[in-house]
Every structure is written in C-alpha cells, then in structure tokens.
C-alpha cells in the first residue's frame, strides 16, 4: 500500500472504516437504503450457481423496467413483502421461498438505480430468512453494458447524473485518507460530449456509461453476478429463450463468460458474447414467447437436452392479457408489461409448488383490478397524442447511441 503524502491525512489505522463509511454514504444518498456492513454485502468473484434444487415454493416475476411502485406491487402480490410495507422496507416475508425475477430491470423508467439497490437489499434480507431472491439478466441489462441507451428516459438519465455526483463525493472522501489504496475513477476515458444528442442529456449519458460499462461500479456490483440462465428444479428461467446450440455450448459456460464480460475481465470495451447479441440470442429470442403458434416440438427437444427440465419460463415479450402458457405449459411467459413505461399492466406472478407439480398464476384482486383499469383508461385519454419519452426519440440519429466506447 502506498505511504501517505504529508499533505494527505492518514486515517488513524482505520482505512477500512473510512472506505465503508464512504460507501454507505453513497448508498444511502442514492437509494435511501442502508446495507449491512457486518458482514459487508457479498461481492462474489464468480457467477451464481446455474442449477439449483427445487424449493418448497418457487415464484417468478417478469420485467420491471425502472418502475419501483409497480415492482413493489408485484413483490407484495407474490407475498415476498408484507402487504402494508413502506416503499423503503426490504423486509422479506416469504420464509424459504425462492423467487426469480426474469430481468429487464433497466430502461423505460426513472427508478432504475433505486430498483437495483432495492432488489439487492431484498436478496440479502431473503438469504437471512432462509429464502432467495434471484434476478437474471435481460436484454436491456446487456444493452446498457454495451452503451446502447435507446430505451433510456430523461428521468433515467437524471437518476444516473445524481448518482455520479454522490459517487464523486464518495471518491473524494476516500482520497482524503492517505493510507487507502487510491480508488479507481470510473469516469476516466468516458467522453464528455455526444454530438447529435441534446446537450442537456450529456452528463446523464456520461454518468450512465461510467456506471454500466464493463467493470463500471454499478455493473460490477449489481449485474456481474446475475446469471443469464437459471435452472431451478424442473424449471428453466431465461429472459428470451434457449435453442439447442445454447445448451450444447453449456449453460454454466454462458453464465461464467457473461459474468466475466460485465466484470471487465475481457477489458473495459470488450464486445458482449455473441450468445447475448442478435435475434436468436438467449436474452432476445421470441420463438417461444410470441403468439400461440409456437414450435412446440423444437421446444420439447431443447428441454429434453436439460436433465429433468419440464418447462421454460421467459420474460421479454409482453403478454397483454396476463401470464400465458403454450405447448402444454412447457412455455410459460411472465412479462405482463408491468412498468408504466412499458404497458402499465396489472401485476401477476407465477407460483410453482410441490417440486414442480403445482403451477398457478397469482393475479390482482378483481376489485383492485377494476379500479386500476379505470385509472389506466383515464390516464390513456390524458396522454393521447403525447410523444413517448424514450431517449431514442430525443436525438437526431438514434443509432449513434449504440456501443458508446470509453477510452482506456
């Protein structure tokens, strides 16, 4: 460790405490949530397990897309949070339940960071109660790590701008401690100007690139340890879908290589692995989630390649009428378009009990659903004629947002 400069005070032998204080300060400023520091939140060097045994109760929740209030409604519907919990309460109320969230936490809303912090804190609370909350990666997480911000909203950019201010403050605290290893500055090498995009969004884009590029502090902390594919008992969870080539390549290998990419093992500007890019990628595929005329024989063949697998549970494709299943319930689609920025659908969650023998959909109470539909109809009338606020509609050439590259 470098010796302290005479101009920089040392921390009285407490550098770890100062670093932990700076991190807790940033966490609370950004999210309003304190993380336990004894022991500190786990930062695994390897991705989570790919294959898990069937729990006594298994729950699946679809895409959340930056909408914290609607996400809380889904979590309460699933019984993971107390029904009367406050918006900042992360008290797990589901005992040994294992819950899988099907990805797409990012984009289309303004609560992206608060959602990432909230869900990570909930996962810590779940583990302490003998349960588990396990998000997986969606195509929008992959897009953001790639610097593709076409579905970011102005509110989402503002949230990251605010994060950047607090993160810099945390760096400044650590730099005042001469006996601490100099902290890495994630903003170095990130462009400050983005021609073709309105200047008011430049700081938000720069902050987002710094946070979410490979080895960026938000990508490393909240995304790098998430699996791309997860098999729990006889259920396969994947955002888009799997084809034969993916299974042959190896599900554990896919998880490990995507994790290494997000962690920056391949370099800050490394390209995403090919199996998470393109129409037939595991986070983009729609062959088994779109419409009701799926290739059931092909799906059966893919599942047959995974020992014990009976169903594939997917997000990604909005089911406007609620959770659906086809191919004899071998394909279950749980993206209900929950977020206000992406359909504003009614919360629904999938529940699997009895080691896979009992599968049901938990729906919103009919009285609440009726009230909600009336409000949604009224809001739709008010918004008629308004322009969507995705970032791609605020620039002259949206393709210029793909693959923002930061200099090493």
Catalytic residue numbers, as ranges = 140
Angle at 305 between CA 348 and CA 288, to 5 degrees: 40
What is the C-alpha separation between 300 and 384, in angstroms, rounded?
A: 43
Angle at 165 between CA 164 and CA 171, to 5 degrees: 85
Q: By three-state DSSP, how is residue 332 classified?
A: strand
Structure tokens at 84: 């009367």
Asked whether 40 and 120 are in contact (CB, 8 A), the reply is: no
Question: Please, which residues bridge with residue 100 across strands?
Answer: 60, 134
What is the chain's length?
A: 408
Exposed, middle or buried: residue 366 (CB in 10 Å: 0-12, 13-18, 19+)?
exposed
Q: By three-state DSSP, how is residue 112 classified?
A: helix
Q: What does 232-288 look like in DSSP terms, one character per residue?
A: ETTEEEESS---HHHHHH-HHHHHHHHHHHHHTTT-TTPPPPGGGSSTTSTTT--TT
Q: How many CB atoms lie within 10 A of CB 149?
A: 29
Q: Which residues contact 40 (CB under 8 A, 6 or more apart)?
A: 20
In this structure, are strands 57-61 and 235-238 parallel, antiparallel, or unpaired? Answer: unpaired
What is the C-alpha separation between 178 and 100, in angstroms, rounded?
A: 43
């Amino acid at each position: 460790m470098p010796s302290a400069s005479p101009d920089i005070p040392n921390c009285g032998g407490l550098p770890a405490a100062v670093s932990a204080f700076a991190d807790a300060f940033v966490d609370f400023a950004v999210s309003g949530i304190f993380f336990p520091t004894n022991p500190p939140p786990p930062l695994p060097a390897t991705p989570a397990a790919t294959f898990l045994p069937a729990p006594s109760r298994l729950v699946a929740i679809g895409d959340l897309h930056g909408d914290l209030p609607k996400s809380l409604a889904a979590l309460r519907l699933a019984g993971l949070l107390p029904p009367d919990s406050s918006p900042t309460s992360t008290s797990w109320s589901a005992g040994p339940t294992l819950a899988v969230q099907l990805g797409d936490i990012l984009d289309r809303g303004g609560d992206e960071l608060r959602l990432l912090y909230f869900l990570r804190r909930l996962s810590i609370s779940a583990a302490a109660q003998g349960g588990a909350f396990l998000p997986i990666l969606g195509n929008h997480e992959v897009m953001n790590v790639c610097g593709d911000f076409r579905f970011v909203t102005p509110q989402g950019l503002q949230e990251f701008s605010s994060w950047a201010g607090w993160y810099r403050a945390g760096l400044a605290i650590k730099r005042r401690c001469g006996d601490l290893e100099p902290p890495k500055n994630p903003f170095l090498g990130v462009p400050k100007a983005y021609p073709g995009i309105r200047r008011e969004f430049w700081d938000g884009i720069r902050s987002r690139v710094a946070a979410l590029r490979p080895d960026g502090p938000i990508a490393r902390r909240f995304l790098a340890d998430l699996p791309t594919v997860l098999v729990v008992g006889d259920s396969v969870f994947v955002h888009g879908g799997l084809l034969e080539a993916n299974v042959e390549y190896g599900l554990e290998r896919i998880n490990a290589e995507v994790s290494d990419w997000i962690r920056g093992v391949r370099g800050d500007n490394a390209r995403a692995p090919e199996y998470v890019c393109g129409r037939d990628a595991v986070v983009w595929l729609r062959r088994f989630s779109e419409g009701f005329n799926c290739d059931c024989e092909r799906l059966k063949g893919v599942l047959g390649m995974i020992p014990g697998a009976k169903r594939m549970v997917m997000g990604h494709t909005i089911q406007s009428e609620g959770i659906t299943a086809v191919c004899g319930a071998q394909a279950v689609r749980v993206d209900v378009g929950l977020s206000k920025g992406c359909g504003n659908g009614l919360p629904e969650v999938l529940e699997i009990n009895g080691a896979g023998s009992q599968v049901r959909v938990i729906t919103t109470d009919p009285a609440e659903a009726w009230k909600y539909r009336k409000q949604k109809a009224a809001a739709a009338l008010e918004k008629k004629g308004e322009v969507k606020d995705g970032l791609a509609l605020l620039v002259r050439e949206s393709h210029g947002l793909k693959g923002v590259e930061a200099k090493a």
